[in-house]
Structure 1
Amino acid sequence: MNSKPNILFIMADDHASKAISCYGYGINQTPNLDRIAQEGMRLNHCYVTNSICTPSRASILTGTYNHVNGVVTLDSKINKHIPNVAKHLKTDGYQTSMVGKWHLGEGAAHEPTGFDFWSVLPGQGDYHDPEMIEMGQTVHESGYATDIITDKCLNWLDQRDPAKPFFMMCHHKAPHRSWEPNAKHRHLYQDDIKVPDTFNDDYKNRSKAAAAAKMRIESDITYYDLGLVQPEGGAEVGEIAVAGGSVRKIPNPDDVSQIRLIDKDSGEVFTFSSQQEFSHFKYQRYIKRYLRTIASIDENVGRMLDYLDENGLTDNTIVIYTSDQGFFLGEHGWFDKRFMYEESFQMPFLVRYPKEIKAGTVCDDIICNVDFAQTFLDYAGLTEPSYMQGTSFRPLLEGNTPQDWQQLAYHRYWMHKDEHHNAYAHYGIRNKRYKLIYWYNEDFDLPGTSPGGEEKEWELFDCEKDPLELFNCYQDPEYANIVRKMTLELDKKMREIGDTPCHNTEEILNKLQL
């Protein structure tokens, strides 16, 4: 019998904390995910270092920031020769597997390495009857992706050597856009779901980046996103093209009386008498499809927990559930992620390990996805590699916060004004109370330039007084000392991790005249 703990790492794609019922927002029920928290710990302040799928996955796997691992955008690909946490665990006798969404490049140069077994979705993958790449070979599966990924994980666990510990990365595609639920869950959530308080945000008192983003449910969501029939035609009938494809956004005219939408499954026809009714329809359609895909995740997490129980593995297995970043569920009128605003920045994190983690506990300390790899290695009893940049948060899980714990999270988004979402490049830090964001508005491969001559901007949010992040207090004289302190903390963090700043701290401090 092995003494080292097994590690089961389950990660969804774009799963917001608010869509897990143990986080207390009341929009859905996830009893199996809640079970992990009830029998272990819920972390309230886990943050992503770059709120986009590919860079986040690279940081989790390598324990490094994106300027170090080289995976800075969705188009970046991981170098399979660099070290990663699975390789370290494998050298110490762990059996390792990766199943589900990879999204770090395709082909022999970028395939998963460090894993005894891997079976991954190419690119984003499909929800239904997905093609998968398994140990370098293409296989075609029948069924629903969330079920298939779980089946493959359980099959591998059945075939493993029970005398050795295992490290499994189970990566679900759901609830990634375009939110296609399993047919058996299409009936869920018949009643209206509460619309977020900030859904009709006017983006005042913030940087121009908030207003410029093209990820509004009101005007940027597509027919395909909402499971609707896309009519023939183009701009001449009010259609709005999405860059790089034939999928089109749903028009948002002042007069909605001519809008006629059709459910592509049932053929039901929807018409509207007011803008308010039309906007409400789009939000409800979006959030319900999103939550229905999560119902499958919760169901399948339950299958995995049951497997551990039935095979006597529960006590010696660390179970983690998280997402590769947060997601906007209508807050500020948005879907998608990318921004350092809280709904996108915060990752859910639930963990159970009966030997060390007290059941039903909650942690309010700050951790980041770059810390995951060191934590896995800590539990495995391995030496922390010198190249990794995070810190093991094992003491936090045991209920002991070190006095010198760095209550700080760093974020950097590099994809300036991408053609699909028009999100601006930015970086910043968050501590327990404040968040400082610098919109440096530069393409990552053009240092020192500012395309279009865009003005750079700073934002400071008091997350205690303004949890919805509606008021930028950077220019408020009452916060001048906080601006100074946070700017110096940002500089210190960037020096610590070796990232290159685009701001001039001396100039900022001189302007503050402190």
Structure 2
Amino acid sequence: PNIVFIMSDDHSYQTLSAYDDRFIETPHLDRIAGEGVTFVNSFVANSICAPSRATLLTGKHSHMNGQLDNRRAFDGRQQTFPKLLQGAGYQTALVGKWHLRSTPTGYDHYERLIGQGDYYNSDFITNGDTARSHGYVTDVITDKSIRWLENRTPGQPFALQVHHKASHRIWMPDTSALGAFQDAGLPVPDTFFDDFTGKRYLKTEMGEQPQRIPMRIPAAETRMSIATEDMDLVYDLKLLDEEGEIQTKYREMYANDRYARLDEQQKAAWDAHYDPIIREFKQNWEAMSERERAIWKYRRYMRDYLATIRTLDENVGRLLEYLKAEGLYENTLVVYTSDQGFYMGEHGWFDKRFIYEQSMRTPLLMKFPEGMATREEVDELVQNIDWAPTLLELAGVEVPAGMQGQSLLPLVQNEDDQWRDALYYHYYEFPNEHMVKKHYGLRTDRYKLIHFYDDIEVWELYDLQEDPMELNNLYGQPEYAQRTRELKERLR
């Protein structure tokens, strides 16, 4: 079978309508779900770009593949699934985001973005040569992917990785989608104004009522709040006023890089959309309460984010139609996923990094080759360490013993009754811009135990069945003492 592995960036499961249709309809992605398997409990092992990509390649956790954070370069000498597929006779290619600070290995062809890449007129390195593209990056990546498929060696199986920039910060929509969500209602999450007091330890002294005692709260020390300057009015929300009255930390970065990349036609469409928003902002901002300002910023963020998803979904549809038209669809595994989840205002946040549900979860849809009997929905705990073993087994390649993940094929074919009952997670990148503390933890189907460490010493325990939004830290409560001991032993 052929393999087309589509991975987006920071696509939340909340904004893929096969999972959640409150914000957007994604008909082309839903088609993969409708014709294949939806994994409803899909998670990552380290919710940040480079480590997640290294986990995909190696089938190993970050401490085993060496990619702990975004700062270091991936060691491309190690074993990866593209190398193993190459050895089994597959043509291999990668188009789009790489973000591993190293030259891709294991590919017959690659066309990769530099770093995060840009939404408009982005530079690509093609097998070592750099050239600037013209157009919107999601369209360009799809064009390049289809061009490679057209020029591949016919009759030989292929494995194509299509790695989109969307929907990474700073959520610049295609000009054709700029107003797509201008009138959308966009409900504010129930936890948007979370003050994190429920995350304090609950201590009980002899003869006294339980009390939440003062302590440092990791969630309160982060810098990814929509309401504050963590979300930059110019850089994130595109409020680049001609008068220069809106001065922010990242104004010049946006003006001289992101906005400056637009050509004249793109700028004309851009300005026609954002100039009225800038005028509205200037007229109303001073009169707004802090609460109203936070909600205004949230809705501006969401409109741009959702517009990038709209174009992403359309381009996934375009690629699927190409596979259909060329008679390739029936014998191709099509995977859609994201490198991690993302916050759509839950707890007042954007970004990812935490072991909490919105960032640890990620979409995962798989359409298998025709004739394979599969379940429509899988609710077992699966993780991105499992992706490489799955691709290898489907291709008939032996899964190396060093890979920590498991092939999902027995699971989707109802042939595995001994699946894992817990997942391990570890985030390492601190200090950094968003100041999420180093932490590791364990997630079972019901409980989550977390240890924050380094410049802080905090434990958190959540009952996901009773508290799915992870608002009330149960660590230290006497009635959970035995459960905590069991989870700590399992985590150890």
Q: Using structure 1 for the length normalisation, give the TM-score.
A: 0.85
For the residue of structure 2 that corresponds to 1:410, the secondary structure is: strand
With over 3 angstroms needed to count, the CA separation of the structure-2 counterparts of 1:432 and 1:266, relative to structure 1, is closer
Between the two structures, name the one with larger relative contact order (CA 8 Å, sep ≥ 6). Answer: 2
* Structure 1 residue corresponding to 2:88, chosen from 74, 88, 92: 92
Post-superposition Cα deviations, 1:377-423, rounded to whole Å, max 9, x if no partner, equal 111111111221111111112233x23211221110001231x1111
How far, CA to CA, are the matches of 2:313 and 2:488 in structure 1? Answer: 41
Q: How does 1:45-60 map to 2 (within 5 A)?
A: 45-60=41-56
* Structure 1 residue corresponding to 2:308, chosen from 270, 293, 299: 293
Residues matched between the structures, number:
453
With over 3 angstroms needed to count, the CA separation of the structure-2 counterparts of 1:6 and 1:193, relative to structure 1, is same
In structure 2, the residue matched to 1:405 is 419
Aligned residue identity for 2:438: A
In structure 2, the residue matched to 1:168 is 160
How far, CA to CA, are the matches of 2:10 and 2:49 in structure 1? Answer: 8
In structure 2, the residue matched to 1:218 is 227
8 A contact 1:200–1:332 mirrored in 2: yes
Q: How does 1:220-369 map to 2 (within 5 A)?
A: 220-222=230-232, 223-229=234-240, 241=249, 265-268=273-276, 269-270=279-280, 271-272=284-285, 273-275=287-289, 276-355=291-370, 358=373, 361-369=376-384
* Structure 1 residue corresponding to 2:199, chosen from 200, 203, 206: 206
How far, CA to CA, are the matches of 1:155 and 1:242 in structure 2? Answer: 37
Post-superposition Cα deviations, 1:284-323, rounded to whole Å, max 9, x if no partner, equal 1001100000111100000111111111112210000000
In structure 2, the residue matched to 1:484 is 485
8 A contact 1:356–1:398 mirrored in 2: no
How far, CA to CA, are the matches of 2:347 and 2:253 in structure 1? Answer: 26
8 A contact 2:54–2:74 mirrored in 1: yes
With over 3 angstroms needed to count, the CA separation of the structure-2 counterparts of 1:200 and 1:286, relative to structure 1, is same
With over 3 angstroms needed to count, the CA separation of the structure-2 counterparts of 1:39 and 1:266, relative to structure 1, is same
How far, CA to CA, are the matches of 2:252 and 2:312 in structure 1? Answer: 30
In structure 1, the residue matched to 2:211 is none
In structure 2, the residue matched to 1:12 is 8
For the residue of structure 2 that corresponds to 1:458, the secondary structure is: strand
In structure 2, the residue matched to 1:508 is none
In structure 1, the residue matched to 2:106 is 114
8 A contact 1:59–1:65 mirrored in 2: yes
For the residue of structure 2 that corresponds to 1:474, the secondary structure is: coil
In structure 1, the residue matched to 2:393 is 378
In structure 2, the residue matched to 1:446 is none
Post-superposition Cα deviations, 1:94-128, rounded to whole Å, max 9, x if no partner, equal 000000000000xxxx2111101100000000100
For the residue of structure 1 that corresponds to 2:363, the secondary structure is: strand
8 A contact 1:17–1:347 mirrored in 2: yes
In structure 2, the residue matched to 1:104 is 100
How far, CA to CA, are the matches of 1:315 and 1:194 in structure 2? Answer: 39
Aligned residue identity for 2:179: H
Matched, 1:429 2:437: no
TM-align CA RMSD: 2.1
Aligned residue identity for 2:431: K
With over 3 angstroms needed to count, the CA separation of the structure-2 counterparts of 1:203 and 1:407, relative to structure 1, is same
With over 3 angstroms needed to count, the CA separation of the structure-2 counterparts of 1:151 and 1:243, relative to structure 1, is closer
How far, CA to CA, are the matches of 1:282 and 1:460 in structure 2? Answer: 31
Aligned residue identity for 2:450: I
How far, CA to CA, are the matches of 1:27 and 1:118 in structure 2? Answer: 34
8 A contact 1:229–1:263 mirrored in 2: no
How far, CA to CA, are the matches of 2:305 and 2:160 in structure 1? Answer: 26
* Structure 2 residue corresponding to 1:61, chosen from 31, 46, 57: 57
With over 3 angstroms needed to count, the CA separation of the structure-2 counterparts of 1:145 and 1:429, relative to structure 1, is same
Further displaced range: 425-434 or 185-194? 185-194
**Residue 232 (structure 1) shift:** 8.0
With over 3 angstroms needed to count, the CA separation of the structure-2 counterparts of 1:210 and 1:27, relative to structure 1, is same
For the residue of structure 1 that corresponds to 2:451, the secondary structure is: strand
With over 3 angstroms needed to count, the CA separation of the structure-2 counterparts of 1:139 and 1:432, relative to structure 1, is same
**Residue 48 (structure 1) shift:** 0.6
For the residue of structure 2 that corresponds to 1:155, the secondary structure is: helix
8 A contact 1:39–1:359 mirrored in 2: no
8 A contact 1:39–1:354 mirrored in 2: no
With over 3 angstroms needed to count, the CA separation of the structure-2 counterparts of 1:147 and 1:238, relative to structure 1, is closer
For the residue of structure 1 that corresponds to 2:95, the secondary structure is: strand
For the residue of structure 1 that corresponds to 2:3, the secondary structure is: strand
How far, CA to CA, are the matches of 1:377 and 1:180 in structure 2? Answer: 35
Q: Which runs of 5+ in 2 are unaligned?
A: 201-216, 256-269
Aligned residue identity for 1:154: I
8 A contact 1:216–1:334 mirrored in 2: yes
In structure 2, the residue matched to 1:467 is 468
For the residue of structure 2 that corresponds to 1:350, the secondary structure is: strand
8 A contact 1:38–1:360 mirrored in 2: no
How far, CA to CA, are the matches of 1:200 and 1:15 in structure 2? Answer: 23
With over 3 angstroms needed to count, the CA separation of the structure-2 counterparts of 1:337 and 1:158, relative to structure 1, is same
How far, CA to CA, are the matches of 1:356 and 1:371 in structure 2? Answer: 23
With over 3 angstroms needed to count, the CA separation of the structure-2 counterparts of 1:22 and 1:130, relative to structure 1, is same
Post-superposition Cα deviations, 1:272-292, rounded to whole Å, max 9, x if no partner, equal 322232222101100110000
8 A contact 1:46–1:368 mirrored in 2: yes
8 A contact 1:40–1:354 mirrored in 2: no
**Residue 357 (structure 1) shift:** 5.2
Q: Which runs of 5+ in 1 are unaligned?
A: 248-261, 443-449, 492-514
Aligned residue identity for 1:313: L
**Residue 479 (structure 1) shift:** 1.5
Matched, 1:196 2:189: yes
Aligned residue identity for 1:195: V
In structure 1, the residue matched to 2:130 is 138
**Residue 347 (structure 1) shift:** 0.8
**Residue 246 (structure 1) shift:** 8.2
Q: Using structure 2 for the length normalisation, give the TM-score.
A: 0.88
Q: Identity rate of aligned residues, in percent? A: 42
